[in-house]
Amino acid sequence: MRFRVSEILAPTTIGTAGTETIDIKTSDVISRLVIRAEVQDKTNRPSGHLQETISKIEIVDGSEVIYELTGMMANAADFYQAGRAPFQRLTYVDDFYPRLTFNLWFGRYLWDTEWAFDPKRFNNPQIKITWDADAVLAGASDVELSVFADVFPEGTAAPVGFLMSKEVYSYAMSNDAHEYVDLPLDYDLRQLYVQARYDAQYFYTTLNGLRLNIDQGKLVPYDLDGRELEVLMCELFGFYEERVRDEIQTANAPTYITPHERVALGVLGEDDENLRGGGDDHVGGQANIISETSTNKAWLLVQGALPGGVVCMPFGRKEEPKSWLDVAGMKNLELRLLGGSFCAGADTARVAVQQARTY
């Protein structure tokens, strides 16, 4: 077997905040890029989820954007692609460095010979990663970054194109208000992602409607409210599972988790078992556990839906390009989103698409 993992960037300390640009120097066809980030020397409790450390991941070729998602959206897209959570060392304990993994898929599955990223088709492809560790973990001194590529042996893959994931719209949500988004029609669509995230709030009170109109409503592939979206995500994709280590406080201090809805928790205290629920539902990316005696390190086994508050709307069968949403001849593809009854003040809502870009 000559398939291999190629190192694009060896583990490199890049500081607390900034944008790192990395040349893709290999000429071999790439099935997947893997980005790892380790946050070092944290001393305080977080003010948000660790994935917010990475505010943007891009692949560019000069002024052309080939891939662009936030870290949290990239994690959700990875889950919806692979059917499982990527490796993460989610720890909010001072004596252990947290580590994140972001998998950027260019094919329908690993080693897909028909859909993959061919660097030779571009002039100067580069990866750009924007980060700010201190914004989430006060006291963080550095981030260690590394990048790997799953590459094909020369001559074994002749892809017709690659899957291109990009954010296309963002906006501030308003209670019970509609937002209209024109989606791109330059390439066929495989998946649509919408993020509606509000810490400690139910998803349906943040986003309570999603409708997709083709040519002014002549065809409507999706028309669902917030609760129906939650159920559909569970049925299509199952549950996101992760392990989180935290220092449980005697007063209610949330532990940031990735799933936003339908969360089930198992908690194992490292020092004692005097732990209980904090009285709130574990929604909106927060788990609420209280230590009844003193501060207690604990492991949380987390299972839930909607990682990062992101829903994924698939078009057709994931592995059959002919079943994806063919945009040829379309005049208009409009996404209509309805804000929930309690969404004012939520994080910026984001819309992204995964397109089948041909060479």
The domain locations on the chain are: 1-158, 160-359
- C-alpha span between 47 and 53 (Å, rounded): 11
pLDDT for 276 equals 66
Nearest to 204 by CA among 90, 96, 283: 283
Provide the residue type at 220 as one letter. Answer: V
Please check whether the two domains, 1-158 and 160-359, share a CATH topology: no
pLDDT of residue 173: 97
> 1 burial class (0-12, 13-18, 19+ CB within 10 angstroms)?
exposed
pLDDT value of residue 281: 74
Question: What gap in Å lies between CA 28 and CA 348, rounded to an integer?
Answer: 37
Q: Are 259 and 49 in contact (CB under 8 A)?
A: no
CATH number of 160-359: 2.60.120.730
Task: Give the pLDDT of residue 16.
Answer: 92
Which phi and psi (to 5°) does residue 217 adopt? 90, 10
**CB neighbours of residue 72 within 10 Å:** 27
pLDDT at 1: 58
Q: What is the pLDDT of residue 116?
A: 98
Look at residue 95 in the predicted model and tell me its pLDDT: 65
In the prediction, which pLDDT does 50 show?
93
The list of the chain residues with pLDDT below 50 reads none
String of DSSP letters for 53-110: GEEEEEEEETTEEEEEE-HHHHHHHHHHHHSSPPP-BEE-STTS--EEEEEEE-SSST
Q: What is the pLDDT of residue 92?
A: 86
Torsion sign (Cα): 277, 278, 284, 287: negative
What's the pLDDT score for residue 223?
A: 98
Which CATH number does 1-158 carry? 2.70.9.10
